[in-house]
Each structure stands twice: as structure tokens, then as C-alpha cells.
Amino acid sequence: MASEKLVIVESPTKARTIGKMLGSEYTIMASMGHIRDLPEHSLGVDIEHNFTPQYVDTPRSAKIIRELKSLAKKADSIYLAPDPDREGEAIAWHLKELLDGSTKAPFHRVTFHEITKSAINKAFQATSEIDMALVDAQQARRVLDRLVGYMISPLLWSRIEKGISAGRVQSVALRMICERESEILGFTPEEYWNFNADFEAFSKGSGSIYSSKLFKINSDKFKASSKDDSDRILSAVKGASAGFKIALVETKPKNRYAPPPFITSTLQQTASNLMGYSATFTMQIAQQLYEGIELGSGTATGLITYMRTDSVNVASEAREECRRFIASAIGPEYVPEKPNFFKSKSSAQEAHEAIRPTDINLVPDKIAQFLSPQQLKLYTLIWRRFAACQMAPAEIKQTTVDTETRGADNNLYTFRTTASVTSFPGFLKVYQSDDDGDKDDEKFPPFLAELKPSCPSFLKDLKTEQKFTEPPPRYTEASIIKDLEANGIGRPSTYASIINTILKRLYVSREKGKLIPSELGFKVNDFLVKSLPDLFQTGFTAEMETKLDKVEEGSIQWTQMLQDFYKDFSDWLKKAKHADSPEQDKPKILITLLDQITEWEEPKKVGKRIYNDKKFYLSVRDKFNEGAHMTANQWQALLNLAAKYREKIPLLMKDAAEYGFTAEVEEAMQKNSDNAERIKNSTASDDDVNKYAKIFAFFDNVKWDEPRKSGGRSYDDGKFFNSLKTQALSGKILSEKQAYALAKIAGRYKAQIEGFAELAPLLGIDPDGETEGSGDKASGTLDPQTAEFVADLSGFEKWDAPASKGRRTFDDKSFFESLRKQHESGRTLSNKQTAALKKIHAKYFKPKE
């Protein structure tokens, strides 16, 4: 009877590629990534018992687990072949833990760094055990990240807004981006001037023109920081009576050496700089190239080695094959006498290889027809970089020419010209990129090297150029990855997810390739840095990465590492919870004032919650009187109550002034006023309700589709429509998003709606347009005053000057113009926008009698 061999990998693509390389006795299954993880809605870590993770099956893995257990029962051998890194090792361990009770078959760990027939055969002939040090490092990182995220996120909910979160590494990246933006916002440009001269060599009329820049005055590097300085220098140089002469001609050979082959971070940086690929997109394409491409033979093969690596090592066979290829395809003179070797950083996994083509003979042009444009671009980049890394250096001749004169002010002025000419291209024959350094500058003529010291030169033109120093550039994906790596933060498997997470959370936006922190991002960062400065500093985060590396090496226990971390973390967390808490005398005074209230509002039910001012106040007061520390949230809640009941507290402002919390009370009053305005603006008028009733009546005969699932969500048109109807007819205005959704529903059920042509204008959509509805013109806020306010302000000219407050600039005119354009294009203003428009109108126009 033939033996049954079960091979488990992570992805279906990898399974298909490997399956065609192994014999029929192998059954290949994909686990679809992790089959077990920490629970989604609880901490999932038993802190009291050595930080034991409480793993659960992932929601989507139930079917896969059943299939794997069934196949494991029949198997004679089980080969665990996830990726060769921490995550892959952890997946292999989880699979073994899960299947061990379902089979008597032995487990074998199979690792490979490329998916080619020879590499797969070699890997299956040299199986190993699961590396528990790698598993422990992955578990330590997972638990560490869970502790930080789970315990700090609630602080953000209470201080900033619900639903946002913090991450151990992502928050440090956010800090770096926010600090860079603060540098830019606080930057003061400094004026400076350049002097650009054109000289004619040898003799007047020779036509031998070269350009030069003022470099030194006497022995000092020159500096002109004002127009007065510039005019003085210009006058002195132009007034030179001694003329100009060549002071220095120096030509030096310079070798430019090939860069190392790609690792994850440098591939992401270069793909971003040259092709505009995001780190996530680069890894997606690289994964496709690694897992296998069908090249017309009916069998797929991996085109590159494993793409998550921080090692620049190259297998000796691949290195020698590359040198042979260069000699035959490019020329023997391009092969250095000895192979090029590169040194990885100390934390790199030496067993890994750099990212390279699995076969250097598969030149990009040869396989272009089998690749998508994006795959071809990335493969070409990897192929060229690897070929270049084993090529001879480029040989460059660099010529420096100094031209000087004694100015009218008797100072010695030196102008410098530098030119580089490539005498032998070396690796540049196959690889050049915009960020690789020097390039030949063809505007410099070849006669420069023929000039001799003391030869005369003649000034043809001299121009000054006013310049200003520039702030540091905003981060791009490439530069933030470079700085994260330089600071020891993150690892090959995490760079893309770090950036993706802060973008997804809307802490940062990507505009024209630049990473710009949002207002929310600034708020989150400011709070975290102020409340937990030690946790979110680059040095501490890098130290934790080093400790994780030590766990992987087996030099420290992962549970001990977590115990050491948690001891400090607990103290930091305790302090953070009391950050911004008031001094104890302030709550005492405010409680004394609030005790004067004898008549409280009746409890209100909003949704499923009941709001009872008196009950809440007494609860906070009693806990405080029992010795509990008042939190910042409780203090803010009491301030809000004081603002709300200020007419019943005659001494409020006097005592607030005496004890130093006047500004806090005034802020609470303003917030109270804004909330009242918002509630007022969200209440529909009788005309609105009548209009809504007319709109919803058109849907009376619609037969709703059955609920449908997409991803992890369920969509029920009928249920959603009824919720909108209930809200609108109860007197609440639909939001812009809700109005947009209603328009889309109308478009989707157009065929069932009798009188759709009459309904469409009420929803602001084209009756003859696309069936999904146009949401741009969906009428959400049915406010008859909007058009009147826009008309009043359109001709207004006496706007207040823009005013700055913190990082923000408030410009009434610009803001109104944006609202006017939106209104005139037929798009609805949101409730917030409508409220803002009313405020601006009230500010500049007295209410009509």
C-alpha cells in the first residue's frame, strides 16, 4: 500500500506550485495562514500564569481544520512547510499542536528559501524539527503587542474618541511622522545667496566655456545671508582688476562599488522611489514572484527567493552562477577578480539569503510575456540589482577646477567646478537608480582636465541667486522605512504592516507620496508621548526588538522577557491613567458647588441608555469622598454638569477663578452650547418630515432582496431602509451618508418604484442615470436656509483675516468658498457643514427681524 504524505503550506498558490514538483504520493494542503490566534474580543493572555497565551481557532479556519484532521488521520508522514521565518515557524507549531491528537504520523519541518524543483527536493531530503526559539520569539511579539494594544487603547477611547487604538511599533512610527511634521511647521527659513559664474578658458573667443560656483572667500567657505552681502560680493568680484586665473586642476580616480542585493527594506524603499509602489503592494507582487509563475511549460516555478529577509548573504552556487552569466552575457571584464561579499547587520538572520532571482539566466526580457506589468517591473529591479552585486566597480575620473581672483575689496574669491566622467561603467551597465548617488553630468566639457594652474580665465557672466533654507522633507514610505530600520525598529515582516496600519486608522494620509499626520494622528501621538513617554520612544522600542532577537537566538526566555517588560509597563500604565487628573483641591471645590443643586433634570432615555445627571454625580462624589482618585474623565464630566447647571450655581465663576479652573469651565460651557446647537440642527422641521414621508411612500411596494453576505458583513436592504425611515419620520435629519445610501437603494430598486422619475429629484439623483444612484446629489440635510445663507455671503467682502490657533489656521473666507462650491455643484452639506455655515452667517450678518 502506497504511503500517504501530507504537506501543509500557508497559501493555495504555494500549494499548487509545490504540488507539481512533488510526486503523486504527496497531498498538499493550504492552511490559509494562521489557524489559531489570540481571541479578538478579550485579552487572551493569562498574565498571572507566566503570560500563557489563550489561543482559539480563527473564525475562518473551522472547515480547514476539519479537512486537515481528516487527512492527518490517513497520513503516514506530515510535512510542515510554512515560510522560513518567525511567523512561518509559529504556524508550523500551531499545526502540530492542533493535529497531534488526530494522528500517529511523525511531523517533519521543511524549510526552503526558494520554490524551485531542486530547492524543494533538497528541503524534503533534509527535514528538521520545529525551532521552538523562533516560535517563542513570535509568541513574545504577539503577546507584547496584545498587552500594549489592549491596555492602552481604552485610554485613547476615554481621552480622544471611541474605536481608535494604539500599537507598540506603529505608534512609534506615528511619533516619528508627527515630529517631522512639527519640525516642518515650526521651521523658519533662512536666506542665503548663490553666485554662479560662466568662465571662458584659455583665451577670449576660444569658446571653451565652463560654469562654476563661488566656493570660498579667502580660506573660509563663503556665506551671503542678505541682499546687502550679495551686492557687496558681486561688486567686489566684478571690480577685480587683476583678472581671473586657474588656481587648481586636480583629477582623481574614483571607484563606485556595486550595492548589495536587496533585502526587504531596501526593496520596499527602491520600489517606492522608482515606481511609486507602496510597501504593501511591493510585498504582494514579490509574494507572487516567490510562490510561483507558470512560464509556459505547464509547471510553475518561483522566480525569486523568500522576500522577507534582512540578510545580504548569497548562496555560493547562486553567486558563482551569476559570475558565469556576467562573463558570457555582458563581458569578462565586468567580472571582478574575486566575488563581491557584503556584510549583514548584526541582527540579521544569517541562515537567510538576500532577495535574488532563483535563476540569473531567466533574464527579464525572456519571461516578460508570462508576467503582469507590475510583476515584470519588480522582477527586473531584483534581477538587475542581483546581477550588479557581482559586477566590477564603475571607474570614474573626478576633475576639480578652482578659478580665483583678488576682488576690489582685496579678498581672494575662489570659484569651484567639479566634473565626473565614467571611464568604465562596471555594474552601472545593468543597474542605475535615482537614489544611488553620483551620476555623470554631461554639461561639463572634456577640456577641463587640460587646464593648467596659473592659466588665465575670463569672466563671461556672473549671476546671483536668492535662496532660502528648506525644512526637512516629509516622510515618504521609503524614507520612513529607512529611518525605522536605522533606529532598529521593526523587522522585514513588519515594515509594510506598520505603514498600512497608521494609514488605515486615518492617523496619517498619503498625499503625492508624502505621509502627512492627520489632526487625529497628532492628538493620538500627543497623548501617547505625554502619558507614556518611555514606552513610545524609539530607543525603548529598538531595545525590545533586540530582546526578541535574543529570544530567537535562545539566549533569553520569552516569559522572562515579558515579565521584565510588564513590571515597567504596569507602572507606566498606572501613571498614564492619572495623567491630566486635576489637583485634589479642585474637585473638592467643584463638588461643594455642585452640592448646591437641588433640582436636577429628569432621567432621559437615549437608545438603550438612561442618562441620570443626579445619579451619576452622586456616584462620582461618593467615590471621591471615600478616597478614590478622580480621573481626568470624571473631572471633565463634573465640569460639563457645572456648565449645564450654571444658573443654579451662583458662585461657580468666582470660585473657579479663585482656584484656577476658569478656562476649563468656560470650555465646558462652549462645548455645552455647541452640543445644543448640534441637537437643534439635527432636528427635522415639519416641512422636512413631510418631504421624508413623501420620499418613503414611493418604496411601499418594493420587495426587498434577501440579506446578502460580503466579507464578514451581512447586508439587509429592507432592514436598513426601515431604520432610515424610522429615524426620518421621528423628526431626525438623515446624515449625508444616510441620504447617499438611500439614493443608492432607490437606484438599485428602480424597476420596482412606480413614479421613479418623480422620486429622483427629491433624492437629488438623475432619473436616467446609473441604477446605483448618484450619491453626489443625495439630499440629506433639507435646510431651506442654506441657499439664502450662501447667497448672502457670496457677495461679502469684509472677511476677518485668517487666524492661527495651535497647529490650525482658521480662514472664514476660504472655508465658506469650499462650502459654496459644494452647494452650487448640487452636493449636500453635512450637518456639521450646515451648522458651520450658520455660524459664519451669524458672525457677519445680524439675524433678520
| Same-domain check for residues 41 and 105 | yes
Beta strand spans in 344-471 (E): 394-406, 412-424, 456-468
CATH code, domain with 26: 3.40.50.140
For β-strands 293-294 and 300-301, DSSP reports them as antiparallel
CA 253 – CA 11 distance, rounded (Å): 52
How far is 72 from 31, CA to CA, in rounded Å?
Answer: 13
SS3 content of the chain, % helix, strand, coil (to 5): 50, 15, 35
The residue among 25, 31, 13, 23 whose CA lies nearest residue 96 is 31
Average pLDDT score over residue span 8-16: 94
Same-domain status, 61 and 209: no
Tell how strand 191-201 and strand 456-468 pair up. Answer: antiparallel
Query: Residue 6: which H helix or E strand, with range?
Result: strand 5-9
Instruction: Reply yes or no on whether the pLDDT at 274 is more than 90.
Output: yes
Which 3 state secondary structure label does DSSP give 255? strand
Where would I find the beta strands (DSSP E) of 682-730? 708-710, 713-715
CATH classification at residue 249: 2.70.20.10
Taking CB atoms within 8 Å and a gap of at least 24, the contacts of 437-444 are 437/256, 438/256, 438/396, 443/211, 444/210, 444/211, 444/399, 444/417, 444/419
Nearest to 494 by CA among 92, 182, 159, 87: 87
The count of other CB atoms within 10 Å of the CB of residue 651 is 12
Give the CA dihedral 477, 482, 487, 488, nearest 10 degrees: 90
Task: List the grid coordinates of 749.
Answer: 430598486
Cβ atoms of 391 and 335 within 8 Å: the answer is: yes
Q: What is the pLDDT of residues 375-413, one digit of tens each?
A: 999 999 999 999 999 999 999 999 999 999 999 999 999
Is residue 711 domain-resident?
no
Residue 113 is predicted with a pLDDT of 95
Q: Residue 691 is placed in which grid cell?
A: 418631504
Of the candidates 689, 667, 719, the residue with the CA atom closest to the CA atom of residue 782: 689
Q: Are strands 36-37 and 56-57 parallel, antiparallel or unpaired?
A: antiparallel
| pLDDT, tens digit (0-9, with 9 covering 90-100), for 310-321 | 999 999 999 999
Q: Are 380 and 316 in contact (CB under 8 A)?
A: no
C-alpha closest to that of 186 among 471, 573, 507: 471
The owner of cell 521565518 is 85
Q: Which of 699, 700, 717 is nearest to 708 (CA)?
A: 717
Annotated active-site residue in 79, 210, 306, 692: 306
Do residues 297 and 348 both lie within one domain? Answer: yes
Mean pLDDT of 652-662: 90
Same domain? 247 vs 301:
no
Rounded to whole angstroms, the Cα distance separating 372 from 365 reads 13
Neighbouring residues of 283: CB distance < 8 A, sequence distance ≥ 6:
264, 268, 307, 308, 496
- Average pLDDT of the residues in 749-775: 72
Is the domain of 464 the same as that of 495? no
**Would the pTM of this model clear 0.85, i.e. be above it?**
no
Query: 424: Cβ–Cβ under 8 A, 6 or more apart, which residues?
Result: 333, 392, 394, 395
How many Cβ atoms are within 10 Å of 154's Cβ, its own excluded?
A: 13
Give Cα separations from 485 to 267, 443, 542 (angstroms): 13, 37, 9
DSSP 476: B
651, 666: one domain = yes
Residue after which a domain boundary falls, among 389, 422, 437? 389
Return the sign of the alpha-carbon dihedral for residues 171, 175, 178, 180: negative
Q: Terminal CA-to-CA distance of the chain, rounded, Å?
A: 98
DSSP code at position 260: P
pLDDT grade for 781, boundaries at 50, 70 and 90:
very low
Annotation marks residue 192 as catalytic:
no
Q: What is the DSSP letter of 457?
A: E
Q: What is the model's pLDDT at position 825?
A: 56
Most confidently predicted of 166-170, 608-612, 739-743, 744-748: 166-170
- The C-alpha angle with vertex 529 and arms to 523 and 531, in degrees rounded to 5, equals 95
Amino acid 757: pLDDT: 85
CB atoms within 10 A of CB 178: 23
Q: What is the pLDDT of residue 432?
A: 85
Confidence (pLDDT) at 768: 65
Range of the domain at 17: 5-130
Coil, helix or strand at residue 532? coil
CATH code assigned at 331: 1.10.290.10
Q: Percent of the chain having pLDDT more than 70? A: 91
Q: What is the mean pLDDT of the chain?
A: 88
Last residue of a domain, one of 681, 699, 723: 681
506 and 548 assigned to the same domain: yes
Amino acid in the structure at residue 31: S
Cell of 218: 579667502
What is the pLDDT averaged over residues 639-656? Answer: 91
Rounded average pLDDT over 43-71 = 95
Average pLDDT over residues 320-324: 98
Q: Is residue 704 part of a domain?
A: no
Residues 23, 111 within the same domain: yes
Instruction: Read off the pLDDT of each residue in 55-83 and give the average, rounded to a whole number.
Output: 95
What are φ and ψ of residue 699, in 5° steps? -95, 5
Q: Who contacts 554 (Cβ-Cβ below 8 Å, separation ≥6)?
A: 133
Do 372 and 282 lie in one domain? The reply is yes
pLDDT tens per residue across span 473-509: 999 999 999 999 999 999 898 999 999 999 999 999 9
Query: Measuring CA to CA, which residue among 154, 83, 87 is closest to residue 115?
Result: 83
Q: Is 104 helix (H, G, I), strand (E, B) or coil?
A: coil
199-208, 589-598, 789-798: which range is least confident on average?
789-798
Interhelix angle 785-794/831-844, rounded to 10 degrees, is: 50
pLDDT band at 837 (very low <50, low <70, confident <90, very high): confident
Please indicate, yes or no, if residue 726 is contained in any of the structural domains. no
DSSP letter assigned to residue 417: E
Q: What pLDDT is attached to residue 713?
A: 65
Cell output for 602? 429628569
Question: How many domains does the chain fold into?
Answer: 6
Whether 283 shows a pLDDT value over 90: the answer reads: yes
Which range is least confidently modeled, 120-134, 419-433, 625-639, 809-823? 809-823
Residue 843 lies in a domain: yes
Q: What span, in angstroms and rounded, lies between the C-alpha atoms of 662 and 656?
A: 5
Domain presence at residue 762: no
The Cα 601–Cα 7 span in angstroms is: 68
Instruction: Round to whole Å and give the CA distance between 430 and 391.
Output: 9
Specify whether 153 is located in the same domain as 205. no
Asked if residue 546 is part of any domain, the answer here is yes
Specify the range with the lowest mean pLDDT, choosing from 101-105, 391-395, 439-443: 439-443
Residue 773: the pLDDT is 36
Indicate if 323 and 419 belong to the same structural domain: no
Judge contact between 513 and 499, C-beta under 8 A. no
Is a pLDDT exceeding 60 seen at residue 826? no
**Where a domain ends, among 681, 709, 739?**
681
Q: Is residue 751 part of a domain?
A: no
Q: Are strands 5-9 and 77-80 parallel, antiparallel or unpaired?
A: parallel
What type of residue is 236? A
Whether residue 78 has pLDDT greater than 60: yes
pLDDT value for 780: 37
Report the C-alpha gap between 573 and 175 in whole angstroms.
18
Measured CA to CA, the distance from residue 109 to residue 7 in angstroms comes to 10
Q: Are residues 24 and 103 in the same domain?
A: yes
Are the beta carbons of 89 and 82 closer than 8 angstroms? yes
Mean pLDDT, to the nearest integer, of 274-291?
95
Q: How many CB atoms lie within 10 A of CB 822?
A: 16
Instruction: Find out whether 257 and 463 touch, Cβ atoms under 8 Å.
Output: no
| Alpha helix (H) residue ranges in 532-597 | 538-553, 558-577, 585-594
Flag the least confident range among 6-10, 608-612, 781-785.
Answer: 781-785
Strands 52-53 and 45-46: antiparallel
Instruction: Tell me, yes or no, whether 700 lies in a domain.
Output: no
Which of the two residues, 672 and 310, has the higher pLDDT score? 310
- Distance separating alpha carbons of residues 208 and 449, to the nearest angstrom: 12
Please report the beta strands in 644-731, taking only residues with DSSP state E, as ranges in sequence order. Answer: 708-710, 713-715
Task: Check pLDDT > 60 for residue 647.
Answer: yes
C-alpha distance from residue 308 to each of 32, 317, 589 (Å): 18, 21, 59
Q: Give the mean pLDDT of 225-233.
A: 95
Question: In what helix (H) or strand (E) does residue 193 lie, and over which residues does it extend?
Answer: strand 191-201
H or E stretch covering 294: strand 293-294
Phi-psi region of 506 (alpha: psi -120 to 50; beta: other; left: phi over 0): left
What's the pLDDT at 86? Answer: 94
